[in-house]
Amino acid sequence: MTLPALHNTSVLYRRILSQFPQDISLAFAYGSGVFKQHGTSQGQMEKNMLDFVFAVDDPVTWHTMNLLQNRKHYSILKLLGPTVISSIQNDHGASVYYNTLVPVDGRIIKYGVISTDSLIDDLIHWKTMYVAGRLHKPVRLLVQSESRKLRAALVANLKSAVTASFLMLPESFTEEDLFLQIAGLSYAGDFRMVLGEDKSKVANIVKDNIQHFRILYSNILRDCPQVVYKPHQGKLEVDKSPEGQFTQLMALPRTLQQRITKLVDPPGKNRDVEEILLQVAQDPDCGTVVQQGISSIVKSSSITQSIKGIATAGLWKTVSYSSKKLMKMWKGGRRKPSVSQMS
């Protein structure tokens, strides 16, 4: 099964991609410059920064080539060379190296580079949920290699998002409830949601993109034995029995299981994961525990990646980028649309 994302690569995206080294295993564009968000006009959308992620098999070679082609994209770290840049990318934060506020073909873009191995690890195990979380939401897929391992990891990530959301939702809920929960996973615990992001961001993402979420998740929901999916009514019913919740907990990504274990198991007891998850499955606060586990992953990666971003972007670009985020947050605060108003 391939990732059911949108494959419409317009001339604009092809022109932008053509200015980078072509050894890319996965490239996608995401965010408010790519998908219309509620409360944003077409004119505003076209002024928004375009966000990209490039997964590459060999970061040192890719950065070597990119430094030759696009040296101005890099901060002062370019003086350290491609090997150090790749080390900073792989060994710190969420294993992504971002160049931001880059003018390309009449638009301002930001692009993150991640190794294919690090991406697959995040998709399967939710080690940081940094790129995996972006791929829970609709993206514009621009390049995808024939790697079966990568394809399987992309689908596994979507299934994990559904499973985690089931555990945090009541027995009966709507498609919109599910998509709001899924879209919010990668923002749970993100310190930028306190300072720097529009508080209504999750609702804005989902409101005008319900059909894109359906394209992404409908096959997974139809094939899932844990849920009764009624697509024509837009309603779902999930198994909330202890047995059903245990099955869902056992299907969660490894890092999330470990975080849940750490939250629940008293120090020194050292029970095995299966025993702890069986206990959590019978707990009325099971969904809260899962939420706390996700928040702990996201909080850690969002802080470390943001600190790394100061170095990779440079101080001036960091201040400029942060001020734009704060302005969006202020405007969002003035609108204050609630989820109930948007349903």
Cα–Cα separations (whole angstroms), residue 59 to 16, 56, 65, 83, 85: 19, 6, 10, 8, 9
- In this structure, the answer to whether residues 155 and 192 fall within a common structural domain is yes
Let me know if residue 299 belongs to a domain: no
29 bridge partner residues? 52, 140
pLDDT of residue 303: 82
Instruction: Please check whether residue 338 lies inside any domain of the structure.
Output: no
Considering the domain architecture, whether residues 60 and 174 belong to the same structural domain is answered as yes
In terms of domains, do 227 and 246 share one?
Answer: no
Domain range for 114: 11-238+284-291+306-333
Q: Are 41 and 75 in contact (CB under 8 A)?
A: no
Residue 296: inside a domain: no
Distance, CA of 119 to CA of 132 (rounded, Å): 8
Is 255 contained in some domain?
Answer: yes
Q: What tokens were used for 131?
A: 């790129």
pLDDT of 41 reads: 74
Q: What is the pLDDT of residue 308?
A: 75
d(CA 185, CA 261): 19
- Residues 94 and 135 grouped into a single domain: yes
For residue 3, tell me if it sits in a domain.
no
Q: How many domains does the chain have?
A: 2
Residue 202 lies in a domain: yes
Instruction: Look at residue 264 in the predicted model and tell me its pLDDT.
Output: 93
pTM for the model: 0.86
Stretches where the chain sits below pLDDT 50 are 1-2, 4-9, 195-196, 322, 325-326, 329-330, 334-343
Shared domain for 231 and 244, answered yes or no, is: no
Residues 193 and 279 in one domain: no
pLDDT score, position 277: 97
Q: Does one domain contain both 140 and 114?
A: yes
Crossing angle between the packed helical segments 273-281 and 254-264, to the nearest 10 degrees = 70
Question: Do 178 and 260 fall into the same domain?
Answer: no
Are residues 250 and 232 part of one domain?
no
CA 200 vs. chain centroid, Å, equals: 17
Instruction: Verify that 41 and 71 share a domain, yes or no.
Output: yes
What the block records as the tokens of 136 is 């829970």
Candidates 302, 315, 319; CA nearest to 130 is 302
Residue 141: inside a domain: yes
Is 73 in the same domain as 202? yes
Amino acid identity at 174: T
Rounded to the nearest angstrom, the gap between the alpha carbon of residue 289 and the centroid of all alpha carbons in its chain is 21
328 part of a folded domain: yes
pLDDT for res 5: 45
**HEC string of the chain?**
CCCCCECCCCHHHHHHHCCCCCCCCEEEEECCCCCCCCCCCHHHHHHCCEEEEEEECCHHHHHHHHHHHCHHHCCHHHHHCHHHHHHHHHHCCCCEEEEEEEEECCEEEEEEEEEHHHHHHHHHHCCCCHHHHHCCCCCEEEEECCCHHHHHHHHHHHHHHHHHHHHHCCCEEEHHHHHHHHHHHHHCCCHHHCCCCCCCHHHHHHHCCHHHHHHHHHHHHHHCCCEEEECCCCEEEECCCHHHHHHHHHCCCHHHHHHHHHHHCCCCCCCCHHHHHHHHHCCCCHHHHHHHHHHHHHHHHHHHHHHHHHHHHCHHHHHHHHHHHHHHHHHHHHHCCCHHHHC
Residues 184 and 234 in one domain: yes
Contacts of the segment 165-168: beta carbons below 8 A, 24+ positions apart: 166/226, 166/227, 166/238, 166/248, 167/245, 167/248, 167/249, 167/286, 167/287, 167/290, 168/287, 168/290, 168/291
Q: Say what the pLDDT of residue 305 is.
A: 77
